[in-house]
Amino acid sequence: MTVQEFIPESYTNTLTNGSVKWSSPSNIALVKYWGKKEHQIPANPSISFTLDNCRTTTTLKFEKKASSSDFSFDVFLEGEQKDDFKPKIETFFKRIEQYLPFLKEYHFVIDTSNSFPHSSGIASSASGMSALALCLMSVEQQLLNVSMSESFHFYKKASFLARLGSGSACRSLEGDLIVWGSHQEIDGSSNLYGTKYPFEVHDNFKNYQDTILLVDKGEKQVSSTVGHNLMHNHPYAENRFNQAHDNLSKLISVFKEGDLKSFIDIVESEALTLHAMMMTSMPYFILMKPNTLEIINRIWKFRQDTGLHISFTLDAGANVHILYPEAEAEPIFEFIKTELVAYCQNGHYICDKIGFGAKQLPI
């Protein structure tokens, strides 16, 4: 598919006002996206588990304006007006206007809430941008006068739009394993949108658990835009991008065979490589905190002592995602509560698991 195919035919319906609502999940990458080219094209393919509990719910109200010269919208988070969110959304609207030509014709009220605390260090851009993209797609469907089932590329275009808001958001629409970025062995994979992982996945990975330990709830030290840019002229960039392709290839048989040991090796190495890229860029950053390392060391010791398949991954921050199979959930969760929660800020953690994607909600 090319970008031109996302430019709609002329709208057949007229709408003066209305309201749509979506709930969209966050996701956690197993093979990380870090580094991008122009137009939010990823430098390497990535794959993520769609989460279930960490969600953004967005209601989008729209009302036809007299003039269509500019974008016009207000944003609310948990009922409170958030003008500081506007520049990011304005940039998003500019990027997607040619694919949604109705944007300047309406005034929008974007009313959004997160199931997790905003200042938890959990990336809300993936769930937030995907929920907004889905709402806009629902408006477009009404303008095109088609139902969701008639619109064969509803999720594809929603993912294409979400990507232009925040790269990893394009992996937050469907579940449960999503690939973004073209990969030689994965048919249908694309740099333009996320697609469902198409191959066999062993039952070991069904209902995979993710307990998120909130080590540092502060604002991100490095924004992802700055972080991705650090990969330009990075001395190890090319090797890193090739490694991501290789790791995704390896995961194909790992998922098929249910090989938890190799899964852990790949996923932990990906997390540490992401952080290594930041430590070796110019300027350089250390995004882990002492408690991040303490948790990692304790996970490794517990794994060695028990033989259980506990592992971790990290985003571009200090929080730790602990991943483990459902079959081993009881002893592992007990260990988390008794030994690891002490290293979380104010003892805060979030229980999540692999999920099945966004939901359209009744108004």
Q: Which residues bind ligand PMV (CB under 6 A)?
A: 29, 32-34, 46, 123, 125, 166-168, 224, 274, 315-316
| Of 50 and 211, CB closest to ligand PMV | 50
Interatomic CA distance for residues 23 and 31, integer angstroms: 25
DSSP letter at 33 equals P
Nearer to ligand PMV, 206 or 220 (CB): 220
Single-letter code of the amino acid located at 353: K
| Least Å from the CB of residue 115 to ligand PMV | 18
Question: Least distance from C-beta 274 to ligand PMV, angstroms?
Answer: 6
In this structure, the number of other CB atoms found within 10 A of the CB of residue 233 comes to: 9
Q: Which is nearer to ligand PMV, 65 or 245 (CB)?
A: 245
CA–CA distance, 267 with 301 (Å, rounded to integer): 17
User: What's the min distance (Å) between Cβ of 153 and ligand PMV?
Assistant: 22
State both tokens at 93.
């609207």
The gap from C-alpha 204 to its chain's centroid, in whole angstroms, comes to 23
Structure tokens at 51: 């989460």
The CB density around residue 81, as the number of other CB atoms within 10 Å, is 11
Residue 168 beta carbon to ligand PMV: minimum distance, rounded to whole angstroms = 3
- Using the minimum distance from each CB to ligand PMV, give the nearer residue, 30 or 332: 30
| Per-residue CA distances from 11 to 100, 101, 149, 154 (Å) | 10, 9, 18, 16
Q: How far is the CB of 50 from ligand PMV (least distance, A)?
A: 12
In whole angstroms, how close is the CB of 224 to ligand PMV at the nearest point? 3
Q: Which is nearer to ligand PMV, 88 or 298 (CB)?
A: 88
326 vs 136: CA distance, rounded Å:
36
Residue carrying structure tokens 């249910």: 258
DSSP string covering 59-125, please?
A: EEEEEE-S--SS-EEEEEETTEE-GGGHHHHHHHHHHHTTTSTTGGGEEEEEEEEESS-GGGS---H
CB of 214 to ligand PMV, least distance (A): 16
Question: Closer to ligand PMV at the Cβ: 21 or 32?
Answer: 32
Q: Which is nearer to ligand PMV, 181 or 325 (CB)?
A: 181
